[in-house]
Amino acid sequence: MNALRRNVLKGAAGAGTVAVAVAAGLLKPTQALAGVPRSAFEAKNVGDALKNMGANAPADSKDISIKAPDIAENGAVVPVEVTSGIAGTTAIAILAEKNATPLVADFSLSGGAEGYVSTRIKMGQTSLVRAVVTAGGKSYTAAKEVKVTIGGCGG
Amino acid sequence: MAEPMRIRATMAGDVADVKVLMNHPMETGLRKDAKTGQLIPAHYITDVTATVNGTKVLDAGLSGGISKNPYLGFRVKGPKKGDKVVVNWADNKGDKNSAEAIIG
């Protein structure tokens, strides 16, 4: 009787451990899916976002071009195009510096993908749009100011 | 079920120009409902991956800072006409969608 009870308890504890391990394991693939940890997307300022991305003090580069409007009438839809002329570009991240969470998107490029991405972002207010390019394990950056007349992040 | 997604892929020289249009509300979780004053829960695409003939070319992480009905453009060197592009996305609520197109 006692022995059985012990076994049941042991079994329950064992199952619990497995469940925890699975839960911990399940968290990993989501983080590994993109090049940048999700914590970088939750950072509230540019410095923290860059730190969480692992891009400390990226060097300014003239080989990155950002195509975005000088004045965006509607901050909810701001077209942004980033072209990197740096050889061996493996990732491009886009940040809107004054957004509540500056990191907007991160693109990991492979398999022949060129150093180019084009998308549409939301901007809460006039700020710099920053591109951070990773090439050969190093980070490079460039920025362009976009003036926003109607913010796209408010209610 | 998620709305369909549109992909257009065309060759320009030896580079494939791929344009993807996804249907998604992309709620940041910071916006308030104008009528009730309640915050609208966050609902946005977090991951987008793209493959050309089975080779991964793009692995993107997105946030609510991407506009509603996200547009994504990228270029891939090497593929030929008739090659297959597959795009997958997943959002923060576990919703997923996939679409494919032939490079023309």
B65 touching A (Cβ < 8 Å):
yes
Confidence of residue A137 (pLDDT cuts 50, 70, 90): confident
Q: Would B96 be classed as within a structural domain?
A: yes
Residues of chain A positioned with their CB less than 8 A from the CB of B96: none
Q: Is the pLDDT of residue B78 over 70?
A: yes
The two tokens of residue A134 are 């990773």
CATH of residue B52's domain is 2.60.40.10
Cα–Cα distance between B66 and B73 in angstroms, integer? Answer: 13
Confidence of residue A154 (pLDDT cuts 50, 70, 90): low
Q: How many domains does chain B have?
A: 1
Each residue's pLDDT tens digit, A69-115:
999 989 999 999 999 999 999 999 999 999 999 999 999 999 999 99
Q: Would B35 be classed as within a structural domain?
A: yes
Q: Would B91 be classed as within a structural domain?
A: yes
Q: Would B1 be classed as within a structural domain?
A: no
Give the residue extent of every domain in chain A: 34-150
Nearest residue to A53 (alpha-carbon basis) of A72, A39, A32, A70: A39
Q: Would B71 be classed as within a structural domain?
A: yes
Please tell me the distance in Å from A52's CA to the nearest CA on chain B: 14
Q: What is the mean pLDDT of chain A?
A: 82
What fold, for A34-150?
Immunoglobulin-like (2.60.40)
Confidence of residue A65 (pLDDT cuts 50, 70, 90): very high
3-state secondary structure of B25: coil
Partner-chain residue, chosen from B57, B63, B71, that has the shortest CB–CB distance to A104:
B63
